[in-house]
């Protein structure tokens, strides 16, 4: 059984066929604003929203969460569906999980659909142990045996944590009344049908023939001049903090129906089971003045709704749908969302969560949320607490726990006070079905792969007709010569498909495992395991791949580990390894060696941290203060140990909405010491209770706030905040902030900051991994172009300007070499120029016209990031070169050439994604198309260790890889990517699709020649007559030996200023290396992968096969060694990019 955990969803393998649906609302173009209020000064509020005054409905209880705005509506006609899967949760309950891409970005969500009319499932209110408390939704749901749940109402976050609205349970328990302004409610009536209405507390307090209105029950805000009752269900939160700062307060404690005490201040602490506290403020205190100790008191209260009363109720804040119409909204913010809707007769309930504030899901506006719920069948819908609060849980068939179905934006489960749980009728407890899954990380489709001779652990989960778990021990069997143990451990023996079946009685279920090619390479799932806190464990996986680039994590039992057991212990469970520092070890570094079937990889492990000072604030005078609905300043002040600190004075009296004071450095501080583990600073506190945060942005430019403690202390104290390890680097610090979210809290204050620090892991590195030589690069023989075969050329990264034309000769040389090779056309994959000004493009057009157009060679020029340097857009480029993206068929091959100038494909327009999807779909169906070549400037993956030159949106990169892989597997046709940008030549493959990176054609390379760092260009040869290899055979295919035809081959062609080859004299039977050197200006390097060459011999046999009897020697280009066969002389010739050199071979 899987513990409550975040679902693992890998888009790369989950992508399904394209479908287009009309989208009836505008999808936003998003930009990120700092945490808290946005740059316009608009403030989110949980009640009293009025956009005309800058107070918009909050998306979340946390008012300081980032607001991502959609200032411009982009009408989207289509969605590109990435996945859309529906599964049963219980009778009458289904869960739909969906992902799509539209003009606004990626979207991911989950939708529970409940048939209330069936009567077998009941929604009910679930809550924490006390009203004024919060717990993760998993703790609220599990004790009640829910089958699914979502988070609920907005709440008084970081204060009482009490919900804002009213709440009532199906058993009739009234949990609390609504705070002023929080009167929207949803629920089910006595008939079991759902609806949305207003909700009010109706109550009286009676004593001695006198009564007064009861205005509140267990509320975090006592109405002005009102009386509120607090029952033991309220909890221990101090009642004086909910009086709104009133100067006139009276509290009456009632025990067993009689007044026990009277006070002029509200009390604190947990009430006894027989106690009730009546608290009045203002004139409400006067109304309680007649009560004295010993008086008998009666309370009578109920929750009333418009129309028939709800039997179960919970509050929301913003109506999204009313009578089938989307409610117009002035707020264009996009956020993670939780919402609930009902169809027209209330018989169907929809519970929706939408992920947001992350690369793979942008979130939705209110209007989009309403429109989507209308689309799926809702007639009325209301918004619940969203942002980091959004959580959905659901039971899997055969499991007794709940999985977290969405991806909470906080990175984990935020404690919340309440939610909606779904309760199903009990079943028979008899096995009616089986679910066969991988035992580890069952939602990771990569685990449905295995290697020959290694294992995969499966488990069969029994369930009854309600999908509730039933303990069972099924029998297992497997096909394709695989073995399977009684516990479900499968060991396949050959590539292909192994079908595993679990069976108990007449009930059985089967699962297909894809058996990959033989294990070729291993890698750890993380570049480095960092254990910041030596008392806490860290985890990693070992991932294997075959020759075609198909990957899967290995079971721990198949891996042998060698680690320094004086520093750490490493244990394995399923596919996960857990590393723990040994007791007493506080810092250290080591490398774990992992071996499986003779293949080795290494896992660097760092324990503890190294602190580096980012700022001593000696430059405090250069820091600046900015604010949102606050006032303040920053200035130098005495530091912690006599040096200079930064004093930030703030005034939080000017608004009741969220107020923020930002201390910003002269320039953002980029952290170059490595991936940060934590940020810290010494703070001289003022005890006022302001909240703190660090504002950062990651290597993709995405902003985030890392929240710290409340400044409740006075004097100096060090505060530290962990940095999520999933952030792409480098991380940049933009500000340190103080924040106040409480409407009732109004104050001024000042803090002093000193010694801003970052903690990084101790340095550790693994042994260098040899570069895998991908066979798409034809290294040792010339490319043939017989029959229907054709070639095209690729060049990139010239990077000249009109002001500095020193690199123009190198670009002209590249183009002349390309013309001489007689390709069908040439693709320039970006960064031909270094800046994007009109004069630069005029020069580029002149060079292209003179070197290519005038020679009759067709060309395609794609913009890279340097084409938009200066103007910030492709406008100047398009004014000279027209379209930025192209799709066409050439001799049976579909080419899709796109614009990644912003580092993303989406930045070049959503129509690019539509073009790519449409091209792949057509190529799969169209028998006249034999394969697809795609290309743009930024490759999906940068093969260099820093990975700084790849597509900046990793979700986009995974989507591209998934689409190409699916096309390759389903169609059996060829697929190839060719890009640039990295500054070095390389080739690799993902799921049998080669990815080729062209190096620089003008600018100096970014790395050493042995890593592909030289200048030149690439020839691509396509063979439309190559046989197709569908997925069933692809796992058995060896890419290095594809038979008589290969659909795609490339030659990496460096610029050659000089080429030398030296063959030693050898005796018969003796072998020795042949030395071949390529010279580029002052750069020289041995002829080796990825450089392509063509070898031939006269009297010298070239290759690894049997030599003819006339040969005096044999030369194997793969090893670089010459072997003497018989006495005599011959010649050995090598050609590199048209330059030929010959050496005499003498055998004595």
The Cα–Cα gap between 364 and 4 comes to 26
Domain end marker among 553, 587, 608: 608
- Of 454, 485, 515, the one marking the end of a domain is 515
The enclosing domain of 990 has a CATH number of 3.60.21.10
- Whether the Cβ atoms of residue 921 and residue 17 lie closer than 8 Å to each other: yes
pLDDT tens-digit map of 942-954: 987 767 789 989 8
Give me the mean pLDDT over the 496-513 stretch.
Answer: 96
Domain of 560: which CATH number? 2.60.40.10
Q: What percent of the chain has pLDDT over 90?
A: 81
Cβ atoms of 462 and 398 within 8 Å: the answer is yes
Q: Measure the CA–CA gap between 333 and 1067, rounded to whole angstroms.
A: 79
Q: 357 and 247, same structural domain?
A: no
Q: How confident is the model at residue 20 (pLDDT cuts 50, 70, 90)?
A: very low
Task: For tokens 């685990």, name the residue.
Answer: 447
Gap between the Cα atoms of 179 and 216, Å rounded: 7
pLDDT of residue 527: 87
Can you read off the two tokens belonging to residue 341?
Answer: 């809707």
Query: What pLDDT score was predicted for residue 656?
Result: 81
Residue 176 near residue 148 (C-beta atoms within 8 A): no
Residue 22 is predicted with a pLDDT of 26
Same domain for 1011 and 1038? yes
pLDDT bucket at 145, cuts 50 / 70 / 90: confident
- Range with the poorest average pLDDT among 56-70, 109-123, 660-674: 56-70
Q: Answer whether residue 1014 shows pLDDT above 90.
A: yes
Which of the four pLDDT bands, split at 50, 70 and 90, describes residue 1059?
A: very high
Is 1095 found in the same domain as 1031? no
User: What is the C-alpha separation between 753 and 758, in angstroms, rounded?
Assistant: 14
For 522-538, the pLDDT digits (tens) are: 999 998 898 988 999 99
Q: Which pLDDT value is given to residue 331?
A: 85
Q: What pLDDT does residue 930 have?
A: 95
Cα–chain-centroid distance for residue 416?
Answer: 23
In this structure, the answer to whether residues 676 and 698 fall within a common structural domain is yes
Kindly report the pTM of this predicted structure: 0.86
For the residues 7-28, what does the mean pLDDT come to? Answer: 29
Please check the confidence at residue 132 and state whether its pLDDT lies above 90. yes
Decide if 483 is inside a domain. Answer: yes
Pair (534, 680) in one structural domain:
no
Where is mean pLDDT largest: 20-29, 957-966, 1024-1033?
A: 957-966
Q: Is residue 774 part of a domain?
A: no
Q: Is residue 177 part of a domain?
A: no
Tell me which of 64 and 490 has the higher pLDDT: 490
- Other C-beta atoms closer than 10 Å to the C-beta of 651 total 17
Rounded CA gap, 904 and 897, in Å?
A: 13
470, β-bridge pairs: 462
Is residue 133 domain-shared with residue 262, that is, in the same domain? no
Residue 783 lies in a domain: no
Which of these three, 1052, 1067, 1090, is where a domain ends? 1052
Question: Do 1029 and 1048 contact (CB within 8 A), yes or no?
Answer: no
Beta strands in 816-863 (DSSP E): 825-828, 858-861
Average pLDDT over residues 1027-1051: 78
Cβ atoms of 460 and 489 within 8 Å: the answer is: no
Q: Say what the pLDDT of residue 69 is.
A: 58
Contact 915, 896 (CB under 8 A): yes
Range of the domain at 479: 433-515
Does residue 310 lie within any of the structural domains? no
Residue 922 has pLDDT above 70, yes or no: yes
The confidence band for 27, taking pLDDT boundaries of 50, 70 and 90, is very low
Question: Hey, which bits of 898-1008 come out as E strands?
Answer: 931-935, 974-979, 986-990, 993-997
In a 13 Å sphere around the CA of 1148, the CA atoms on its Cβ side amount to 4
Contact 762, 607 (CB under 8 A): yes
Q: What is the mean pLDDT of residues 189-194?
A: 96
Q: What is the mean pLDDT of residues 245-268?
A: 96
428-475 pLDDT, tens digit per residue, is: 999 999 999 999 989 899 999 999 999 999 999 999 999 999 999 999
How high is the pLDDT of residue 73? 41
Both tokens of 268, joined, read 């604190």
Instruction: Summarize the confidence of residues 1065-1074 as an average pLDDT.
Output: 96
DSSP assignment, residue 766?
P
Mean pLDDT of the chain: 91
Same domain, 632 and 746: yes
So what's the pLDDT on residue 9?
Answer: 38
620 lies in the same domain as 593 = no
> What token pair was written down for 1012?
């592909």
* Structure-token pair, residue 30: 């998003």
Residue 317 falls within a domain, yes or no? no
CA separation for the pair 1080, 1059 (Å, rounded): 9
Q: 599-607 and 610-615: which strand pairing?
A: unpaired
pLDDT of residue 585: 96
What is the spatial distance between Cα 435 and Cα 499, in angstroms, rounded to a whole number? 14
Sort 4 into a burial class: Cβ within 10 Å, 0-12 / 13-18 / 19+. middle
Residue 28 tokens, joined: 């936003």
DSSP string, 768-784: PPPPP--TTB--SSPPP
CA distance linking residue 729 with residue 397, whole number of Å: 39
High-pLDDT (> 70) share of the chain, %: 93
Q: Using CA atoms, how far apart are residues 279 and 275, in angstroms rounded to an integer? A: 13
β-strand 974-979 against 931-935: which pairing, if any? parallel
Residue 744's pLDDT band, with cuts at 50, 70 and 90, is confident
CATH number at residue 1063: 2.60.40.1080
pLDDT of residue 398: 95
At 1043 the pLDDT is 57
Q: What gap in Å lies between CA 509 and CA 505, rounded to an integer?
A: 11
Q: Are residues 1066 and 1081 located together in one domain of the fold?
A: yes
What would the pLDDT profile of 689-731 be if each residue is shown by its tens digit?
999 999 998 876 777 889 999 999 999 999 999 998 777 778 9
Residue 864's closest CA among 803, 916, 800, 938? Answer: 938
| pLDDT for res 316 | 95
Tell me, yes or no, whether 683 and 804 share the same domain.
no
Across the range 539-562, mean pLDDT stands at: 97
Q: Does residue 4 carry a pLDDT above 80?
A: no
Q: 566: exposed, middle or buried (C-beta count within 10 Å: 0-12, 13-18, 19+)?
A: exposed
Residue range 1095-1148, pLDDT digits in tens: 999 999 999 889 999 999 999 999 999 999 999 999 999 999 999 999 999 999
Q: What's the structural domain count of the chain? A: 7
Mean pLDDT for the stretch of residues 609-622: 94
Is 185 within a domain? Answer: no
Model confidence at 756: pLDDT above 50: yes
Whose CA is closest to 291, among 307, 280, 282? 280
Q: Which residue has the higher pLDDT, 492 or 67?
A: 492
What is the model's pLDDT at position 332? 85
My answer on whether 1035 and 1063 are in the same domain is: no
| pLDDT score of 924 | 97
- Examine residue 778 and state whether it is found in any structural domain, yes or no: no
Q: What pLDDT was estimated at residue 675?
A: 80
Mean pLDDT value across residues 354-369: 93
- pLDDT value at 380 more than 50: yes
Burial 524-550 (b: 16+ CB within 10 A, else e): beeebbbbbebeebbebbbbbbbbbbb
Lowest mean pLDDT among 331-340, 403-412, 1044-1053: 1044-1053
Which uninterrupted H or E stretch holds 340? strand 337-342
Report the b/e string of 742-763 with b at 16+ CB within 10 A. bbebeeebbbbbbbbbbbbbbe
State whether 327 and 385 are in the same domain.
yes
Written as one string, the DSSP assignment of 254-280 is EETTEEEEEESS---SPPPTTEEEEEE
């Amino acid at each position: 059984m899987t513990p409550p955990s975040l679902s693992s969803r890998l888009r790369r393998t989950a992508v399904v066929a394209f479908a287009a649906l009309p989208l009836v609302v505008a999808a936003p173009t998003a930009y990120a604003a700092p945490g808290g209020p946005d740059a316009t000064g608009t403030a989110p509020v949980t009640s009293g929203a009025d956009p005309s005054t800058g107070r918009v409905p909050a998306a979340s209880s946390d008012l300081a969460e980032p607001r991502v705005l959609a200032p411009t509506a982009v009408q989207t006609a289509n969605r590109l569906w990435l996945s859309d899967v529906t599964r049963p949760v219980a009778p009458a309950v289904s869960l739909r999980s969906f992902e799509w891409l539209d003009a606004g970005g990626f979207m991911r969500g989950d939708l529970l659909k409940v048939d209330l009319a069936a009567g077998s499932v009941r929604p009910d209110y679930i809550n924490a142990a006390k009203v004024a408390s919060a717990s993760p939704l998993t703790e609220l749901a599990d004790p009640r045996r829910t089958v699914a749940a979502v988070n609920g109402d907005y709440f008084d976050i970081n204060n009482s944590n009490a919900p804002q609205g009213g709440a009532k349970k199906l058993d009739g328990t009234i949990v609390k009344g609504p705070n002023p302004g929080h009167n929207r409610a949803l629920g089910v009536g006595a008939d079991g049908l759902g609806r949305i209405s207003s909700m009010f507390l109706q109550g009286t307090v009676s004593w001695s023939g006198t009564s007064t209105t009861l205005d509140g029950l267990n509320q975090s805000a006592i109405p002005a001049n009102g009386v509120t009752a607090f029952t033991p269900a309220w909890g221990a939160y101090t009642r004086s903090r909910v009086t709104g700062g009133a100067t006139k307060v009276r509290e009456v404690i009632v025990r067993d129906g009689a007044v026990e005490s009277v006070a002029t201040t509200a009390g604190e602490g947990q009430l006894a089971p027989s106690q009730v506290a009546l608290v009045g403020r203002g004139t409400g205190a006067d109304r309680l003045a007649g009560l004295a100790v010993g008086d008998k008191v009666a309370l009578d209260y109920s929750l009333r709704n418009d129309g028939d009363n709800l039997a179960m109720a919970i509050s929301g804040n913003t109506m999204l749908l009313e009578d089938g119409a989307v409610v117009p909204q002035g707020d264009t913010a996009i956020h993670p969302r939780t919402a609930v809707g009902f169809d027209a007769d209330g018989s169907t309930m929809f519970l929706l969560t939408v992920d947001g504030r992350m690369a793979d899901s942008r979130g939705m506006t209110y209007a989009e949320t309403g429109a989507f719920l209308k689309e799926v069948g809702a007639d009325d819908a209301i918004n619940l607490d969203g942002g980091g609060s959004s959580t959905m849980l659901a039971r899997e068939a055969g499991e007794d726990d709940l999985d977290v179905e969405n991806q909470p934006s906080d990175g984990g489960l935020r404690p919340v006070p309440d939610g909606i749980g779904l309760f199903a009728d009990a079943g028979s407890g008899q096995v009616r079905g089986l679910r066969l899954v991988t035992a580890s990380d069952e939602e990771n489709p990569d685990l449905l792969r295995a290697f020959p001779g290694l294992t995969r652990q499966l488990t069969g989960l029994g369930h009854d007709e309600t999908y509730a778990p039933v303990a069972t021990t099924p029998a297992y069997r497997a096909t394709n010569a695989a073995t399977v143990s009684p516990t479900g451990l499968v060991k396949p023996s050959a590539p292909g498909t192994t079908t595993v079946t679990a069976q108990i009685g007449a009930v059985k279920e089967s699962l297909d495992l894809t058996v990959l090619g033989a294990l070729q390479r291993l890698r750890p799932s993380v570049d480095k395991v960092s254990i910041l806190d030596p008392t806490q464990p860290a985890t990693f996986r070992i991932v294997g791949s075959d020759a075609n680039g198909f990957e899967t994590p290995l079971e721990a039992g198949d891996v042998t580990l060698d680690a320094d057991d004086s520093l750490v212990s490493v244990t394995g469970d399923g596919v996960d390894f857990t590393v723990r520092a040994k007791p007493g070890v506080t810092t250290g570094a080591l490398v774990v060696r992992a071996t499986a079937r003779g293949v080795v990889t290494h896992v660097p492990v760092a324990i503890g941290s190294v602190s580096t000072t980012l700022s001593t604030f000696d430059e405090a005078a250069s820091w600046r203060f900015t604010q949102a609905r606050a006032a303040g300043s920053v200035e130098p002040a005495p530091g912690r140990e006599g040096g200079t600190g930064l004093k930030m004075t703030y005034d939080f009296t000017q608004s009741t909405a969220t107020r923020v004071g930002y201390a910003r450095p002269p320039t953002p501080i980029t952290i170059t010491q490595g991936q940060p583990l934590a940020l810290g600073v010494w703070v001289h506190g003022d005890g006022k209770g302001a909240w703190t945060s660090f504002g950062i942005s990651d290597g993709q430019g995405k902003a985030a706030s890392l929240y710290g403690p409340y400044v409740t202390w006075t004097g100096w104290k060090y505060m530290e905040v962990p940095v999520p390890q999933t952030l792409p680097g480098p991380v940049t610090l933009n500000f340190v902030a103080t924040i106040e979210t409480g409407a009732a809290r109004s104050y001024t204050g000042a803090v002093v900051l000193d010694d801003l620090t970052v903690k990084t892991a101790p340095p550790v590195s693994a042994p260098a991994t040899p570069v895998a030589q991908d066979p798409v690069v034809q290294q040792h023989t010339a490319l043939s172009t017989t029959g229907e075969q054709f070639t095209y050329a690729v060049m990139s990264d010239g990077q000249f300007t009109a002001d500095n034309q020193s690199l123009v000769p190198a670009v002209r040389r590249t183009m002349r070499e390309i013309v001489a090779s007689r390709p069908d056309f040439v693709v320039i994959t970006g960064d031909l120029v270094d800046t994007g000004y009109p004069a630069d493009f005029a020069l580029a057009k002149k060079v292209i016209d003179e070197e290519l157009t005038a020679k009759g060679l067709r060309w395609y020029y794609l913009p890279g990031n340097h084409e938009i340097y200066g103007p910030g857009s492709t406008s100047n480029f398009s004014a000279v070169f027209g379209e930025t993206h192209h799709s066409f068929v050439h001799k049976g091959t579909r080419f899709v050439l796109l614009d990644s100038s912003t580092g993303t494909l989406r930045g070049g327009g959503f129509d690019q994604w539509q073009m790519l999807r449409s091209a792949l779909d057509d190529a799969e169906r169209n028998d006249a198309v034999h394969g697809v070549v795609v290309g743009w400037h930024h490759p999906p993956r940068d093969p260099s260790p820093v990975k700084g030159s790849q597509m900046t949106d990793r979700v986009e990169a995974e989507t591209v890889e998934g689409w190409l892989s699916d096309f390759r597997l389903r169609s059996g046709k060829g697929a190839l990517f060719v890009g640039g940008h990295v500054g070095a030549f390389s080739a690799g493959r993902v799921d049998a699709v080669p990815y080729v990176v062209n190096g620089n054609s003008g600018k100096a390379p970014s790395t050493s020649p042995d890593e592909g760092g030289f200048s030149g260009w690439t020839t691509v040869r396509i063979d439309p007559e190559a046989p197709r290899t569908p997925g069933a055979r692809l796992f058995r295919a060896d890419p290095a030996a594809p038979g008589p035809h290969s659909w795609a081959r490339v030659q990496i062609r460096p610029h050659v200023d000089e080429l030398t080859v030296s063959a030693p004299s050898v005796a018969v039977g003796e072998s020795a290396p042949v030395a071949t050197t390529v010279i580029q200006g002052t750069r020289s390097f041995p002829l080796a992968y990825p450089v392509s060459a063509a070898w031939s011999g006269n009297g010298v046999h070239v290759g690894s096969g049997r030599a003819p009897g006339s040969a005096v020697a044999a030369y194997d280009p793969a090893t670089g060694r010459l072997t003497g066969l018989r006495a005599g002389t011959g010649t050995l010739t090598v050609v590199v990019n048209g330059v030929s050199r010959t050496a005499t071979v003498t055998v004595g």
